[in-house]
Amino acid sequence: MRTIVASFSLGLLASAAAAQCIDPAYGTPLAAPGTLFGDFQFPITPIGFAFPVNGVTYTDIHVCDKGYVWLSNAGVPAPGGVDISATAAELASQGPRICALWSDIQAMSSNNAMVYVKSTAADCTITWENVQCYSSTSGIFTMQMKLEPNGTITFRYGAGTTNASTLNTWWVGVTGVSPGGVTLPAPSDLSTVGSSVDPTVYEEWVNINTFDMAGSSFQLIPTNPGYVWTPTTGCASALAYGTGCLSQPDSAYEAWTSGFDLNTTTITWLRTTSGYVVLSSLPGAFVTPSATATNIAPATLDGEQLVTLSAAMPVAGGTTTTLNVTTKGQVKVSPVLSNNIDYTPTVAELLADTLTTFALWHDYDQTDLGSGLILFEEVGGIAYVTWNGVHSYSSSTPNTFQFQFEVATGNVTLVIGTMGGFANPDAGILGYSVAGPSNDPGATDFSALTGTVSVGDTQVVPLTLGTNGTPSIGNAGFALLVSNAPVLVPVGLQFFGTAVVNPGLDLTFLGMPGCSAYTNGDLGAFTFPMAGPTGSFAFPIPNNAGLIGVTLSTQTAMFSLATPFNLVSSNGVVLTLGT
């Protein structure tokens, strides 16, 4: 059956030229798993050799998640930092920099993103894996940059690489190299063979989603002065898109390292029988603490204190009469102290917390001279936990916000005042997560939330389709991997088509509410055995150069009692066969 699919596709599509594509040996990650949430420049990293640009050699790079690296020798010249708004003029005028694709791109732990460096005496490769344009305005993609001792630069782009952010000053994309401090020359078309005698070579895409080298690679070969370049196509890729069904997260969050945008807003968690409805549209009022309010963990920088409610309050898993308030902006559902005060917030830690947690988590310091206090009191059946002008540890500027817990209903309101020091310079996270390990649902932009977010007391993970690598020509072991499958019938259905359906087709009309079709399925459906919630569909790729460039869409369905039609579906995956 799998041969039928490949043969049919081969008949539809012509072959393409071979290419040097994404190198699967990424090297060393530049951050710990779960610690990335966008807008980040990593510490200085050795190249491994002296890399020349316009007659000057550099021994170090400073990698930014925006798709570029600064060049230096032990930090000289000083790197320029994180810049979300790409311009060719800045590429030329600022410090020495190389851009794979400089745009408002983010490496987010919620997408399993990571940035890697692999350095040897022969080359230094930087990989931006599973990155995405700001505010989830693109698919997830991977790209690479390779530096060689002779000054050659290779750029490699996975499927879906693009420039697509939310504002026109942020969606601009720039690719190229410059020694810095020079006059901007005319742009080049890097998608075609070309050359330039100028040491600054670049292409700029000023309109959204106009980057035109996804799934390809090209080299800049130095000619001293200038460069020549030759693009190639035919990269193998497997790109997931859409979301499987049925799913229910037990967490919701937003994280910042700078640019906090929720001053004077209100976030509300409305309690239901099985979770919360989260929204930002209800007005809230800050209630000034009374003179009899209790100071939480008095005179303590890193502390916590239990507070008792007047009655049992509905929460995930039942009810509680006790809350644990930490000095770091967390209110945890617990009858005991955690004895684990963490002043470095990360999304991964919020999702892994063993206690159900409401948080506006940050490194606050109520012991700083002139700081306000963290206060608790219950008045009229509402428990108020207030950070009343509490300073940040690193900035000595005040932050004011208040959690309001309505004891009878379990509704929770977060009234945010002016957060002068939040996420500046230390990180901060607003969120909620049920006790125990939680899958990452992806960040919620609360400032742009127009509807609601549903958060359950128990997470339901959707049927998920992935791969064990890329569909490279001759990869006899290539397979599609299925996870989170319902254990009802030990058989899966794998659909293949010639068209990607994205956004997906709502399958409510078929009796599958909450599910979507992501392939047209015109190549058919094939059964495969499933021994439990995980399984695989073997799809060996023949060693046939004529298959280069063939594209297939695919999606899994499993039998389930969760829908009237007795099927649930996975996300989609688009397979591009190549080298």
Between CA 164 and CA 171 the distance in angstroms is 5
What is the pLDDT at residue 75? Answer: 96
pLDDT at 6: 43
What CA–CA distance (Å, rounded) separates 418 from 425? 16
Distance CA 283, CA 55 (A): 61
Q: Residue count of the chain, please give it.
A: 579
Q: What is the pLDDT of residues 14-33, one digit of tens each?
A: 333 333 478 878 999 999 87
User: For position 264, what pLDDT does the model report?
Assistant: 97
DSSP state of 510: G
* Omega cis (within 30) before 513: no
Distance CA 442, CA 223 (A): 45
Q: Which two tokens stand for residue 519?
A: 């392939």
For the question of whether the overall pTM of this predicted structure is more than 0.75, the answer is no
Confidence (pLDDT) at 18: 35
DSSP letter at 381 equals T
| Whole-number Cα distances in Å, 498 to 6, 64, 520, 524 | 11, 37, 7, 10
What pLDDT score was predicted for residue 5? Answer: 54
The per-residue pLDDT for range 379-431, each reduced to its tens digit, is 999 999 999 999 999 999 999 999 999 999 999 999 999 999 898 888 899 99
- What string of DSSP letters covers 544-577? -GGGTT-EEEEEEEEE-SSSTTSEEEEEEEEEE-
Residue type at position 2: R
Query: Which CATH code of 1.20.1260, 2.40.50, 1.10.150, 2.60.40 fits the domain covering 240-245+461-576?
Result: 2.60.40
Is 454 exposed, middle or buried (CB count within 10 Å of its CB: 0-12, 13-18, 19+)?
middle
Return the residue matching tokens 């790209």.
143
Residue bearing tokens 């099927």: 567
What are the tokens at 218? 């090209």
Which parts of the chain have pLDDT scores under 50?
1-4, 6-20
How far CA 128 is from CA of 102, 148, 152, 291, in Å, comes to 12, 18, 19, 53
Domain boundaries, the chain: 19-233, 240-245+461-576, 251-456
Residues with Cβ within 8 Å of residue 75, at least 6 apart in sequence: 44, 60
Token pair recorded at residue 38 = 């966008």
Distance (Å, whole) CA 498 – CA 522: 7
